[in-house]
Every structure is written in C-alpha cells, then in structure tokens.
Amino acid sequence: MRENTNGEDEDFIVTVVPRSRRVGSWLVVAALVLLLVMAFTPAPYVIEAPGPVFNTLGQNHAVGSTPTSADEKKPLIVIKGHKTYATKGSLDLLTVSEIGNPQRKPNWFEVITAWFSSSRAVIPMGVAFPAGQNVREQNAENAQLMTNSQQDAIAAALNQLGYDFTQHVVVEQLTDGPAKGVLKVGDEILTVNGAQVKGVQSLRDLLKENGAGTPAAIGIRRDGEKTMVHVTPTTTAGAVVIGIGAGMEYDFPFTVKIQLSDVGGPSAGQMFALGIMDKLTPGSLNGGARVAGTGTIDSEGNVGAIGGIRQKMYGARQAGATVFLAPKANCNEVTGHIPSGLHVYAVKSLDDSIKVLDAVRTGSSTADLPTCPAS
C-alpha cells in the first residue's frame, strides 16, 4: 500500500497472467502468421478441378453459360452434305480445369484446401508439366491431340453406322526398334500375317497375337505399290511392338466439323462420336435425358482411359447429368468416388455405350449393364 494525495491508503492490485495462457496466445499468433505466410507461398503442385461442360448436341459454349460471341452461338457439331435429324437432351463432354502452372503456382492454402475436397485433386507440378516442356508447347500438343481425336471420332461414328469410306493405317514415325530400315514414314500398313489391319488397335492386337521374337509378315503399300516385309517384334513395357508410331488417315464421304474452342486433349472422343451418331440417325439416342461421359476413341470404336475422371464426374453431376459413361479402364479411379445421384456405367466400346443409351431411352432395366465394382 501507499498513501494517496488525500492521505488515504490506496491498494494496488497486480494481475499475474498464467504462463500457459501466455504460451497459448503466442501459439495463436504464430498460427495466424503461418497461415498468412502459406496464403502467399507458392506450392510445387497443380490443382485439378471440374471444368466447363459442353453439350455435343448443342452450341459451342459451356452448359449454363451465355454465348458472348458469334462463334459460341454456332452448333458444336456441324454436318454438311448429309441429312441430319433433330436431337433432344444432351450428350455432355467434360473438361478439367488446372489451377496453377510453372509461372503461376498455387499457394499452400489453396493446395491444402483442395486436398480436403472430394471434387479436386492435387498433383505434383512435374507430373502436370514435365521437365523440358513449357506451357505453350503443352497447349500445342493438347490441341493436336484434340484434332486427332475429332477425326477418330468421326471415323468411329461412321464405322458404327456402316458408312463406307477410305481409311488407312500409316507409319507416322519410326524409333530405333526392329522396323527401322524396313518400314518408312508414310507406309500404309495393310495386313499382318494375312489378316487385315483395320485400325491402330487392330494392328496392336495382331502384333500381340504374333508375339515377340517371331518374324511377322507385314503387307504394306509404298508409293502406290503393294509389297511384303518381315519384322520381328520385341516387347516394351509389356506390349509387343515393332518400333513405329502408327496413325490414321481418312477420306470421309461428307463433311463433319466439330467446333470447340479452347479445349485440348483426346478425352472427348467418345462423346463426339455419340453426338455425331445422334445427329445422323432419326430419334434420340438418349431419349431426351441429360447424359454425360468421357473417354478416348479410335476408328474402331474402342473407348480408352482418360485423366481427371473424378473431377469429370463431379462436373457432370453439377451440370445436371444423372447418367455417366466412364471408360472401363478408369474403374479403379471411379470406385468409391461417385457423386450422389450419378449412375456410372463402365464401357469399353461404342457398342457398350449404345446399350446404355438404349436402356435410358426405353426405360428398360439397367441391371445387366456393366458398372465399376463397388468399393
């Protein structure tokens, strides 16, 4: 105590803050500082999220968006020189949006948030953008894959509908494999051991049937002349190969143009093919329902695996789809990750997909249709 100016005694109370409370306060401050740092610190990852959805039976703009240019008001699929039919509902193709690139990395806060999101995925920057490839080069590659996919989709649709047109399997590139010095770029591959080569997958299957270590008789057309060469396949990563990059060349009987801007990669192939088929046939493949799907396609109608399947399922559901066509090869990523209200069917070919659409259109039982195994 001490005496105040009035001569009275005055008590002074000293408050002592417990050590544990002081430590707790500092921890809170440290956590806030850490969060602030994380909010601005770049992370070496890319975030994959559901991207825009496009109806192949509709216009060239994303589902739910308003066209902002004349191009976006154009039909996504245009067919000239052949009768077309009215369609209903939708056959949606899905995309994946990438958040981040080597020039603009997402911050740690964004990455951690994405880790806890069922509709997003986090992948290392080096996987999304391999060393030695910049963003411009990757975009150019994806654009070329999209172009090739569109051509293969047209061929797959026309083959499925029984149209007759010229299509060739050709050698597009050579590696240091067994075909080097025997085959040339531009050679058309006609047969393997007497069996007709109808497409790239057909070529793979025939080489597998021949086996590695055994010479294969390959019929080719070079400079307009047919000849026979012999190549002994080897095994690479479990596949029987001859060391070539094979591709397709087509001469279609009428014009099919796919108008889709700013989307790359081959994963829309299946939905392009189904959209073309729907426009070329009376009635509606989907019965007017909202159907979505994904998957690569080749000229023989084989549906292949794609990336970002989880994000695409969520994108489909957000756009209102209840039926989803997924490549069977993606089932390991589908199982246990299907959004509520979405019915996913596993398909390996256009035949499989059409069976699903037939059931949707007619309202018949889907019990026997292939699905991915339950978790």
User: Could you tell me what percent of the chain has a pLDDT over 70?
Assistant: 91
Residue with more model confidence, 109 or 196: 196
The per-residue pLDDT for range 281-335, each reduced to its tens digit, is: 999 999 999 999 999 999 999 999 999 999 999 999 999 999 999 999 999 999 9
The per-residue pLDDT for range 90-110, each reduced to its tens digit, is: 999 999 999 999 889 999 889
| Architecture, CATH, for domain 50-97+149-161+252-362 | 2-Layer Sandwich (3.30)
Distance (Å, whole) CA 37 – CA 45? 17
Alpha carbon distances (Å) from 278 to 10, 214, 283, 288: 94, 44, 8, 11
Reported confidence tier of residue 12, pLDDT bands at 50, 70, 90: low
Span 124-138, average pLDDT: 83
Buried b (16+ CB within 10 A) or exposed e, 89-103: bbbbbbbbebbbeee
Provide the β-strand partners of residue 303: 297
The per-residue pLDDT for range 235-246, each reduced to its tens digit, is: 999 999 999 999
The tokens 């509902």 sit on which residue? 89
Average pLDDT, the chain: 91
Domain range summary for the chain, segments of one domain joined by +: 50-97+149-161+252-362, 166-250
The CATH T-level fold of domain 166-250 is: Pdz3 Domain (2.30.42)
